[in-house]
Amino acid sequence: MNRKEFRDLASPTEAREAIDSLSIEGGVERVPLENACGRVLVARLDAELDVPGFDRASLDGYALNARDTFGADEADPAELDVVGVVHAGEEPEVVLESGQAAEISTGAVMPDGADAMVPVERTDVGGDVNGGTDENGESGEDHESNGTVLVRTSVAPGDNVMFAGADVAAGERALGPGTHITPRDIGLLSALGVDEVPVRRKPRVGIVSTGDELVRPGGELESARGEIYDVNSYTIAAGVEDAGGEAVLYPHAGDEQDEMEQILREAAAECDLVLSSGSTSASAVDVIYRVIEEQGELLLHGVSVKPGKPMLVGRLDSSAYVGLPGYPVSAMMVFRTFVAPAIRRAAGLSEPESTTVTGRMARDERYGEGRLRLMPVGLVTDSDDGGAGDGDTLVYPVDKGSGATTSLAEADGVVEVGPETDYLERGEPVDVQLFSPDVRPPTLLGVGEDDPTLNRVLDRLDNPRYLSVGSRPGLRRLREEIPDVAVVAGPIGREHGLEATELGRWERDWGLIVRAGNPDEIDGLDDLVDRDLQFVNRTADSGLRTSLERALADLAEERGADQHDLTTEINGFDIGLRAHESPARRVIAGTADAALGLRDTAERLSLEYVPVGTQTMRVLVNPDREDKASVRELESVLAEGVVGDVGL
C-alpha cells in the first residue's frame, strides 16, 4: 500500500491559524431589501432624507396655532373656525390664520400657519355641544366640514406634532458597516426608502465528494459492490449554509488523478473555498494530496486531533482548500470545529449565542491519547426546570464509532477534550458546542428493544430520542442512570434486580416470518430443527432472541434433547441481525426461508407469520426521572394505548 504517513502533526491552533490565513471572503453584492435579512452590511448607511419628510400630525384631531388655545380648559374652551380638512397622503389646501383650525388625520401634513395640534378627544364640535345656533362661519372657503371646534385644553407649540427629521435626520448615521441585518433594521431601511443594500457576498464553498463507492441519495444502490449513499456532501452543505456560506455541490470524483484534478480545479475556479470530503479510502486521499501539492500549495497535512487526523489545509489556484476526513461524524466535527468559524467570519457573522450549552458529564470517561479529542455527545435533562444551559443537562459520549452515520443523529454536539485531559469524571461540568444553533436536546431519552408499537408511541411525544440498543444493553444503561426510560422485551433474567418502576407495558406476538403464502409449509420451530431451511436470527442483545432461546429450551425438554444440539441443527442460528425488520428483509430478498420476527412486521411487509409466542414489553423508568414532564407524558400515552383503543 502506498499510504502516506502523516509526520509532524500540526497542533489544533496551527490548523486554525492555517485556515485563518486563507482568504475566503466572498466580496460585495447588492441585494434587494426583501432579501437583506440575515445579511451583513459592508458599508455605513447614512440617512439621505429626513424622516418624516414633513411636519406630521401625531394623532387625529385639529391643527391650530398654540397661542389660540392659551388659557383654554374643560370649563372654558377656545372656539376656533374650522377652515379645512387634511387627510394623510394629501397636500394641505389651507393656510391657517389666527383663530382658525383644520381637521387633520394622524400622519397628515401640518398646514402652514399651524404649529401644534389637539387630539379629537379634547375637542367638541362647536354649536352642537353648547346647543348654539349652528351658524355657518364666514371665515373658511367652501370646505364641507366648516363650522367651529371647541378646544378644551391648551397646547404649546410643537405639541402632538412630529417635526420633519425628528425620527431620522438627513445625514445621520443609520446603520454601521458590519451590521447583521435583522427585521428591525429592515424597518429603518424601509423608512429611509432604501430598496437595495450592499452586503457581503456569502462565501461560495464548493464540496467535492470523492470515492468510487459513493452514490447520491435518491440514486440506485448496489450493495454487492460496496456502494453507500454519500452522507458528507449534503451534510456539509447544510453546515455551510448554516454558517452563512453558499454551498455548491460538485459531481463525485473517483480516485483517478486527472479526473480529481479537473473537478477540484473547476471548483477552485468557481468558489472561495473548496472542501473535499466523502471517501475514507487512502488512495483517494493520496490523489487529492498530490493534486494540491503539485497544483497548489499545501499548508498542512494532518492535525493532532481525534478524529480528524487526516486533514489537509492549502490553496488551489485562487481558492482556499480544506480536506475533511471521510467518516461522516469526523467530517462533521472537524467542519464544525475548524471550518465553520472561518466561513462565519468570512460571512461577517458571529457565533450564534445558542450554540453552546453547559452540562455535567453523565458518566466517567477515560481518554489518554494526548491529542485534542472532539467527543460527540448526546444531551439529556435530569429535571424539568432544566432545559439547556442551567446545569441540569447531562452529557454522555456517543460512541458508536466514527463510521456510523447514526452517531451524528444521536449526538447533539461536541465536547472538546484537551490533550492534557485523560479523565472526565461523572458530574464534571463541560461545554457542549451544539452541531447547529437549531439543535434541540431531546425531551425524553429512551433506550432498549426496538418495536413497532413503541415507534408509534414515540411519534406522539415531542422530540424524544430512542436508542434501540436491545433489551439487555438498555437495562445496563438504565442502571448507569443516563436514560429516562428503558424498554425491555420478554424474560429479563438476572438483570431484573433493577429497582425501576414500570411505566407501562404491552404484549407482542412473535414467531417466524416466512414467504407470502408459506410455500415451504413451515409450522413452527420444529421445522427449523428438523428440515434443511435457512433461518435468520436477531442479535443476542435482542429480547426476541431471548424468547426464542427459551422456546427452544422448552422444545428440547419436550423432546428430551440437549438444547445446544437443537440449535446447532438450525442453519443460520448464529446469523444475528440488529433490527426487528432486517431478518424479514432477508426472506424477501430470498436469502432466507424463515426469520425471527413480529406479527406486526410480517403484516407490514406482506409476508406470512407463523406464531410461536407472546412477549411482554415493559417500559421501566429511571427512579430519578419519575417526575419529569416527558416521562409523565409517555406514561399517559401508554395508558391511553391500553385503555382506549387508540391503535398503538
Please state the closest distance from residue 154 (CB atom) to a second copy, in A. Answer: 20
Please state the closest distance from residue 523 (CB atom) to a second copy, in A. Answer: 25
Indicate the residue among 186 and 551 with the shorter CB distance to a second copy.
186
The type of residue at 559 is R
Please state the closest distance from residue 584 (CB atom) to a second copy, in A. Answer: 8
Please state the closest distance from residue 164 (CB atom) to a second copy, in A. Answer: 8
Indicate the residue among 289 and 481 with the shorter CB distance to a second copy.
289
Round to whole Å and give the CA distance between 613 and 547.
8
Please state the closest distance from residue 459 (CB atom) to a second copy, in A. Answer: 5
Please state the closest distance from residue 182 (CB atom) to a second copy, in A. Answer: 5
Indicate the residue among 122 and 315 with the shorter CB distance to a second copy.
122
Beta strands in 390-442 (DSSP E): 393-397, 413-417, 423-424, 429-434
Q: Are 151 and 82 in contact (CB under 8 A)?
A: no
Please state the closest distance from residue 561 (CB atom) to a second copy, in A. Answer: 27
Q: Are 327 and 20 in contact (CB under 8 A)?
A: no
Indicate the residue among 196 and 293 with the shorter CB distance to a second copy.
196
Please state the closest distance from residue 300 (CB atom) to a second copy, in A. Answer: 22
Take residue 269 and report the three cell numbers written for it: 475556479
Round to whole Å and give the CA distance between 512 and 599.
8
Indicate the residue among 80 and 529 with the shorter CB distance to a second copy.
80
Indicate the residue among 74 and 91 with the shorter CB distance to a second copy.
91
Round to whole Å and give the CA distance between 70 and 79.
11
| N-term to C-term CA, the chain | 55
> What are phi and psi for residue 612, nearest 5 degrees?
-125, -45
Take residue 327 and report the three cell numbers written for it: 467518516
Indicate the residue among 39 and 315 with the shorter CB distance to a second copy.
39
Indicate the residue among 350 and 614 with the shorter CB distance to a second copy.
350
Please state the closest distance from residue 134 (CB atom) to a second copy, in A. Answer: 18
Please state the closest distance from residue 468 (CB atom) to a second copy, in A. Answer: 6
Indicate the residue among 87 and 559 with the shorter CB distance to a second copy.
87
Please state the closest distance from residue 387 (CB atom) to a second copy, in A. Answer: 8
Distance of alpha carbon 415 from the chain centroid: 18
The set of residues, in sequence order, having a beta carbon less than 8 Å from that of 142 and lying 6+ positions away, is none
CA dihedral 506, 511, 517, 520 (to 10 degrees): 180
> What are phi and psi for residue 204, nearest 5 degrees?
-85, 125
Round to whole Å and give the CA distance between 492 and 224.
38
Indicate the residue among 296 and 464 with the shorter CB distance to a second copy.
464
Q: Are 284 and 2 in contact (CB under 8 A)?
A: no
Indicate the residue among 231 and 637 with the shorter CB distance to a second copy.
231
Strand partners, 321: 274, 314
Please state the closest distance from residue 177 (CB atom) to a second copy, in A. Answer: 5
Please state the closest distance from residue 425 (CB atom) to a second copy, in A. Answer: 26
Q: Are 461 and 637 in contact (CB under 8 A)?
A: yes
Take residue 101 and report the three cell numbers written for it: 383650525
How many residues belong to the chain?
648
Indicate the residue among 55 and 79 with the shorter CB distance to a second copy.
55
CB atoms within 10 A of CB 110: 25
From residue 514, give the alpha-carbon distance in Å to each of 508, 567, 574, 612.
18, 19, 18, 13
Indicate the residue among 5 and 499 with the shorter CB distance to a second copy.
5
The set of residues, in sequence order, having a beta carbon less than 8 Å from that of 56 and lying 6+ positions away, is 107, 108, 109, 110, 161, 162, 163, 164
Q: Are 177 and 42 in contact (CB under 8 A)?
A: yes
Beta strands in 74-138 (DSSP E): 78-86, 100-104, 116-119, 123-125
Please state the closest distance from residue 622 (CB atom) to a second copy, in A. Answer: 21
Take residue 641 and report the three cell numbers written for it: 394505548
Using the structure block, give the residue that is written with the C-alpha cell 443609520. 174
Q: Which run of H or of E encompasses 241?
A: helix 232-242
Take residue 540 and report the three cell numbers written for it: 443476542
Indicate the residue among 72 and 175 with the shorter CB distance to a second copy.
175
Indicate the residue among 177 and 493 with the shorter CB distance to a second copy.
177
Please state the closest distance from residue 59 (CB atom) to a second copy, in A. Answer: 9
Nearest to 311 by CA among 287, 330, 328, 283: 330
The set of residues, in sequence order, having a beta carbon less than 8 Å from that of 496 and lying 6+ positions away, is none
- For 420-458, b/e burial (b = at least 16 CB within 10 A) is eeeebeeeeebebbbbbeebebbbbbbbbbbbbbbeebb
